[in-house]
Amino acid sequence: MWRAIQPSRQRPRLRAAFAADNRETITMNVVLWILQVVLALLFATAGLTKLTQPKERLAPSMGWVEDFSQNTVKAIGTVEVLAALGLVLPAWTGIAPVLTPLAATGLIILMIGATVTHSRRNEAQMITINAILLLLALIVAWGRFGPYAY
User: What's the mean pLDDT in 54-69?
Assistant: 95
Between these two residues, 116 and 16, which has the higher pLDDT value?
A: 116
Return d(Cα 20, Cα 37) in angstroms, integer: 26
Q: With a cut of 80, say whether residue 27 has pLDDT above it.
A: yes
pLDDT the model gives residue 4: 52
SS3 102: helix
Domain locations along the chain: 39-145
pLDDT tens readout for residues 68-124:
999 999 999 999 999 999 999 999 999 999 999 999 999 999 999 999 999 999 999
Which band of pLDDT confidence, cut at 50, 70 and 90, is reported for residue 20? low
Confidence of residue 37 (pLDDT cuts 50, 70, 90): very high
pLDDT at 21: 73
- For residues 84 and 115, the answer to whether their CB atoms sit within 8 Å is no
Conformational region of residue 134, where left means phi above 0, alpha means psi within -120 to 50, and beta covers everything else: alpha
Residue 13, pLDDT above cutoff 60: no
DSSP 122-133: T-HHHHHHHHHH
